[in-house]
Structure 1
């Protein structure tokens, strides 16, 4: 009896399995001869090649994977996800199907399942879900970090066991794609619709010659002198080499102040001390600072003031009395009753806000969430936009002029750029661009309990309130939230080091250590990458803090 090759059998099995169910929507069909020849397969490439231009010679069978390598995948399928889901739940409409299901991706290393994840329903757009019979996306694209969900998926794979599985040496990477649908409490998963593998020759652990690594010489900066304090330079050289070798990705700058003076200053990826850097949500903390100054000068009565003092909430959608009672403190501690949580698919997720014409209206139109504990912390960017709007309408001359006069000029910060809301109000959601050394000045202001060059810019009381553990961060061990500042402990060399800090997408951070003489700034552009904050934590615990402790 003649045997069919395994792959041809798989093609016929997949085609036959899903052909038994009549299609619900028309799909784009087989797009090319290569598509037809690779039906049910996932192909890997080292470059971003459009499927229409992809040739057999581009397909990887074996690939050397370094910290600077890119990796792309193209999956050739027999049908669209809407029709695959129709096979799992024939009674649902096309609209209902794509709201309840999507693709499931699984990655195996050397035959062992490492990470499996279901793509959220609703992505990509319905028209694509109805028609697309192929997926072409980057898993690793170092030049365009965090652009696609697939890159985030790869980051999650690494953080859930992939990093430890891909040790230096040869490993077989295998990917599978299936359809899934969430039906009430049941998740129904279909058969494999595409799969493929590539043999990886992993070389991610660079050989570092410390003797060849030179630290950047420190020089004075307006308002900041040079520190003469000691530190373990070998540790910092090791960190610098790992950044340059791509072990730590998309790091732009590392600045350390000791006793208010520059101790370490290193830049990467084309940045220097004059580069204005986008720190994303680090900018939220600046709204807290200006709020403190406005209270100190009497333009706000205090953080207990409520929204009803600034807005006629009856004019907005989903009015409830609970909205009236939301206080400035609730916005500062991210604990208001609004149904907004950037970490979930809530109505108030920031990604739903940005396309709208009026972000304040978006926030105040939101319903309240009565199922979440009333004072529980939830990351709510839109609430900080409302706080910025309150400041803008309350302080003389508006937020931009006031912040410049009361904060930036006293700190000697002259070069910076605000982003703006659609109403041209400074965007307190984040993104204010400063130089790394000016971010360090800002951190030092809090280290100095609000004082700079003998002038009390912020009251000591406001700094103390800001550096109070007002809220527990759900799901994180011993992490807390103050007034738009985070708090956690670093455990280094048997010591617990308490830090309040600003944090932004990409790994951007300003760490202030109340019990130590340090301010640490890390600027980074790993936007949207799952590894962004974990790699900063590793830099801090493995290199920066040990270097400061080991003098």
Structure 2
């Protein structure tokens, strides 16, 4: 009996130490789940979204098959809340100061540390940090959740995970620690860890084979040699879901179709949604409209097209916003799509019934100097589309068809429209990959198509000018033209400059300045952290090495 009582007292004492946490700075949520109590201090993995109260031990995964249809969710089962763990590191800090930190994640593959990250302070809400003892997020998901877990996984993949998780069976392990950032960075002891067997299946060799170019493309077919193995290796990466949600790759060299590959249910006649790639078409039509004298010049200001005093937040600064500043994303509006709390963020525009009014109602930012500071501003391109629509004969839809698409032989395309039924120049202009290639080749030709000057050569030159330097903290190295991006790839020690259109999901139209190349990549990796980095890897490691001499 005494032994039984002694054992009971030990159990009670241990339970109190684990769950009571008398030194807490804030009250954490009670731990009531039997499964959580049995797995305190573990990172567990699940295949679906099951509420904790309904979760059974049999729902926890011990192995995962990395196939496109399979999801992988991570759950942290903690003995205390993050804030209380942080309090141990800095007892004198306030809750608000502790909230400036977050979790540190360390990823191991087969016993080797591959990636470590101090999660951004904004990745969890304060209430989650302060009270929650369970954290549940997707790591790999085909449901498109907007989650820091998917972003974290994407950064792990981009920083060594992709190279570590080769074909075969691996052991993936995740360790979790708290960190604080105030007054100095400090990382605490291990609070959770867990592992899973991670299988990367071998692909069917036929899925890596080159796809033959069928007749009827509308392009002359190139007979130039290229490194077929490199392209087959790329195809294998796509088939194996290492490059995710890629739908097509088209390469034009010296004006001829060299490579035409389709993936994930896409085909030659598929219309792709390349999101902001469509912005650059607005730039092209603007160049044509200026040549036709329907628009005087890029130096025209908004006050020449709108009575800005009828809109909210009028200022003289707004009067002087030029078309050029909208084309180069350098206007003085209080807007930045890369900042979620920016008043002019595009996500605030879409629910409104008048997108132009949304843009012109915005305040200006007195700290900005027109034409000097780059901030991505989708609503500004909507304004450009509206100006075109009311300046050209027949409106933007008819004018772009007559002046751009028909001369290029593009007949199968689909505009999206604003709530005011104006072609949506924010993006979403759907076409076939081969027709995006026509647009790219038009610029490569200096505006010529079949002997006709469709686009003024001077406009191509101005578009392919490094008007602004891109901020490194947002997009890395590069420059910006007239709704064209600019960067340089280095392959085998040599630099290759390209101007390109870019859209959410990893959609690109590349036009190389010093090589006879136009490259199209379409993808549906929308709102993922890997969308653009994986395209850079495809270009740098596979496509360019395959086709450059």
TM-score, normalised on structure 1? Answer: 0.84
Q: Judge conservation of contact 2:275–2:427 (CA < 8 Å) in 1.
A: yes
| Residue 494 of structure 1, CA deviation | 3.5
Q: Judge conservation of contact 1:82–1:98 (CA < 8 Å) in 2.
A: no
**Alignment correspondent of 1:289:** 284
Cα–Cα, structure 1 residues 177 and 69, in superposed 2: closer, same or farther, change >3 Å?
A: farther
**Counterpart-to-counterpart distance in 2, 1:431 and 1:44:** 36
Q: Please state if 1:218 is matched with 2:213.
A: yes
**Alignment correspondent of 2:312:** 317
Cα–Cα, structure 1 residues 82 and 366, in superposed 2: closer, same or farther, change >3 Å?
A: farther
| Residue 60 of structure 1, CA deviation | 2.6
Q: Please state if 1:387 is matched with 2:384.
A: yes
Cα–Cα, structure 1 residues 127 and 358, in superposed 2: closer, same or farther, change >3 Å?
A: farther
The number of aligned residues is 535
Single out whichever of 435-444 and 417-426 deviates more from structure 2.
417-426
**Counterpart-to-counterpart distance in 2, 1:436 and 1:90:** 59
**Alignment correspondent of 2:336:** 341
**Alignment correspondent of 2:295:** 300
Q: Judge conservation of contact 2:374–2:468 (CA < 8 Å) in 1.
A: yes
Cα–Cα, structure 1 residues 187 and 328, in superposed 2: closer, same or farther, change >3 Å?
A: farther
**Alignment correspondent of 1:15:** 19
**What is the 5 A alignment of 1:297-446?**
297-345=292-340, 346-372=342-368, 374=370, 375-446=372-443
| Residue 31 of structure 1, CA deviation | 7.0
**What is the 5 A alignment of 1:56-455?**
56-63=57-64, 70-76=71-77, 104=103, 106-109=105-108, 110=111, 114-120=116-122, 134-141=134-141, 143-145=142-144, 147-163=146-162, 170-176=170-176, 178=178, 195-201=192-198, 203=200, 213-221=208-216, 223-345=218-340, 346-372=342-368, 374=370, 375-455=372-452
Q: Judge conservation of contact 2:448–2:455 (CA < 8 Å) in 1.
A: yes
Cα–Cα, structure 1 residues 311 and 52, in superposed 2: closer, same or farther, change >3 Å?
A: farther
**Counterpart-to-counterpart distance in 1, 2:14 and 2:174:** 16
**Counterpart-to-counterpart distance in 2, 1:404 and 1:99:** 57
| Residue 545 of structure 1, CA deviation | 1.4
**Counterpart-to-counterpart distance in 2, 1:331 and 1:33:** 58
| Residue 118 of structure 1, CA deviation | 2.2
**Alignment correspondent of 2:487:** 488
| SS of aligned partner of 1:252 | strand
- 1:370-406: CA deviation from partner (whole Å, max 9, x where unpaired): 3355412222212112211211222222222221222
| Residue 201 of structure 1, CA deviation | 4.3
| Residue 114 of structure 1, CA deviation | 1.0
Q: Judge conservation of contact 2:207–2:239 (CA < 8 Å) in 1.
A: no
Q: Judge conservation of contact 2:177–2:187 (CA < 8 Å) in 1.
A: no
| Residue 443 of structure 1, CA deviation | 0.7
**What is the 5 A alignment of 1:445-524?**
445-475=442-472, 479-524=478-523
**Counterpart-to-counterpart distance in 2, 1:312 and 1:469:** 32
**Counterpart-to-counterpart distance in 1, 2:49 and 2:435:** 38
Q: Judge conservation of contact 2:83–2:99 (CA < 8 Å) in 1.
A: no
| Residue 78 of structure 1, CA deviation | 7.3
Q: Judge conservation of contact 1:73–1:137 (CA < 8 Å) in 2.
A: yes
Q: Judge conservation of contact 1:81–1:102 (CA < 8 Å) in 2.
A: no
